[in-house]
Structure 1
Amino acid sequence: MSRPGGTLRGLAASRRVVIGASLLVMLFLLAFAGPYLAPWGWEDTDFTAFREPPSARHWFGTTQSGRDVFALTLRGMQKSLVIGLLVAVLSTALAALVGMVAGYLGGWPDRLLMWGVDLLLVLPAFLVVAVLAPSLGGGWPLLVLLLATFLWMVTARVVRAMTISLREREYVLAARFGGASTPWIIRRHILPHLASLLIVDAGLNVSVAIMAESGLSYFGFGVQPPDISLGTLIADGHGTATAYPWLSGFAAGLLVLTVLAVNLLGDGLRDLLDPTLEKGTP
């Protein structure tokens, strides 16, 4: 019979997963289906409405140039979500690859890979991305690559430590002595035991990536015009936030909701899937 603490932890985690996942699905639907319901496109201009507050004609109001804030906000939300998801997938995949290879092979591959991890850890990530992203002119795909480059190192160290423990298990040794190749052993016997960690890491990295992209875009180092993201919308409207709060308020609110939803989902998954957490003993 499980102890009450483990049961309560599981119920709390499940509640967070349901709330986070439901909110995230609604935000995705709003971002990608909302533009088809809106009367204005993000590139349209209403020359009869400049800086008008929210109304039946313009649901989130208009900008100083007459563009619809609702359409702009959803466009920016789309870009922030896509960047967050791509960065999370790339950084988690890189962490898994480097950590498992270093932990399983050991020796000089381990030392070389961990030297690279240590080098990246001491670099000022924000400054490096801020300098390279605008100067290289690669657009938002380059921003995705740069952000992913600086989000995987800590997870790689955790994966390496777990792989070192797993490589001494009997089934791994048996597969090795049976002539199985290193890629097969890693894919068949190492990766499945790390799946829960990687799923949780990818989920939490989405919010980290969205916040990083928004911060860089706010300061002009991220998504570049004419494209937009939530960060650029907040930056465009922050100077007149008291007089025209709708210019940046809706973008800021959706950014907070998105990060909250991802964090709730990630925390709930961590409590449900992380084998290092006590779930109760029989």
Structure 2
Amino acid sequence: MADFTSRRTLVLRRFARNRFAVASLILLVLLFVGCYTLPAVLPYSYEDLDFTALLQPPSARHWLGTNALGQDLLAQILRGMQKSMLIGVCVAVISTGIAATVGSVSGYFGGWRDRVLMWLVDLLLVVPSFILIAIVTPRTKDSANIVMLVLLLAGFGWMVSSRMVRGMTMSLREREFIRAARYMGVSSRRIIVGHVVPNVASILIIDAALNVASAILAETGLSFLGFGIQPPDVSLGTLIANGTQSATTFPWVFLFPAGCWC
């Protein structure tokens, strides 16, 4: 228990030194909490139709205006952010976990394991992942298909991070404390989990925050092109796609979702 506490303290201390990482994490948490708590205080849900306010500009009644069906745009955007943020966080957690595992194993053991894993990384890096995901991903309208989308995005989002972890692990394995643990008979798994990963954890946390943004961009792009989240569900990509046709005549329908995406 004391060993776990010391590792956790080490990770938190190193992470707290990076102001950019702390600010990014705080912003991410605020966005995640906001998009799930604000809908409860709004007078309209994302599904409600107001036939007396079709394509109305922002007003006291509808703060960000309405779309062609009379749906409150703020409620729609918050619903889209919920879906996009949830997918982004899940993809980031999975892809960062894969990167940490592959990179640390490859860097620590070297030899044939390193060659095989880096061959796999190089292979996936040259695959046109966005096109492949667009082909494989069905039009996601239920939870099972959303899980498939998350797995596909995560499966193509860990390679660069794993190379970074590999390089750091190759440096760490020659340090005195790693050698001492090895000479004392500590298993390779315990060395990787207890010594290697905590020393690269601050970088992994920063990388996870960046992966959230990358996953949101990828999911939004897929939904915009008609391959990701589709009506009747809502995503930032579908909102932007629906607003493109009226971007010049009813600009709020396009600008507000696009602004949240940017």
TM-score bracket, shorter-length normalisation? 0.7 to 0.9
Moved more, 211-220 or 165-174: 165-174
Deviation of 1:180 after TM superposition, in Å, equals 1.0
The CA distance in 2 between the partners of 1:19 and 1:164, in whole Å, is 30
Is 1:84 the counterpart of 2:88? The answer is: yes
CA contact (8 A) 1:139 1:223 kept: no
Cα deviation 1:157-205 (Å, max 9, x = unaligned): 1111211121122221221122111110101111111112111111111
Unaligned segments of structure 2, at least 5 residues: 1-17
User: Which residue does the alignment assign to 2:181?
Assistant: 175
User: Which residue does the alignment assign to 2:170?
Assistant: 164
Alpha-carbon distance change, 19 to 177 in structure 1, aligned in 2, over 3 angstroms: closer
**What is the Cα-based RMSD across aligned positions, in Å?**
2.1
**Amino acid in the other structure paired with 2:196:** I
User: Which residue does the alignment assign to 1:64?
Assistant: 68
- 1:121 pairs, out of 117, 121, 125, with 125
Is 1:102 the counterpart of 2:109? The answer is: no
Instruction: Give TM-score scaled by structure 2 length.
Output: 0.86
The CA distance in 2 between the partners of 1:199 and 1:21, in whole Å, is 9
Spell out the pairing of 1:1-282 with structure 2 (5 A cutoff): 14=19, 16=20, 20=24, 23-134=27-138, 138-256=144-262
CA contact (8 A) 1:51 1:64 kept: yes
The CA distance in 2 between the partners of 1:122 and 1:40, in whole Å, is 46
Alpha-carbon distance change, 48 to 136 in structure 1, aligned in 2, over 3 angstroms: closer
The CA distance in 2 between the partners of 1:56 and 1:135, in whole Å, is 36
Instruction: Give TM-score scaled by structure 1 length.
Output: 0.80
Cα deviation 1:43-72 (Å, max 9, x = unaligned): 111122211222222222222112111111
Instruction: Calculate percent identity across the aligned residue pairs.
Output: 55
**Structure 1 residue ranges (4+ consecutive) displaced by more than 6 angstroms after TM superposition:** none
Alpha-carbon distance change, 199 to 24 in structure 1, aligned in 2, over 3 angstroms: closer
The CA distance in 1 between the partners of 2:180 and 2:222, in whole Å, is 49
Cα deviation 1:54-113 (Å, max 9, x = unaligned): 222222222211211111111001111111111111111110000101111222221111
**Amino acid in the other structure paired with 1:133:** T
How many residue pairs get aligned? The number is 244
**Amino acid in the other structure paired with 1:166:** L
**Amino acid in the other structure paired with 1:209:** A
SS at match of 1:88: helix
User: Which residue does the alignment assign to 1:5?
Assistant: none
The CA distance in 1 between the partners of 2:66 and 2:182, in whole Å, is 65
Unaligned segments of structure 1, at least 5 residues: 1-12, 257-282
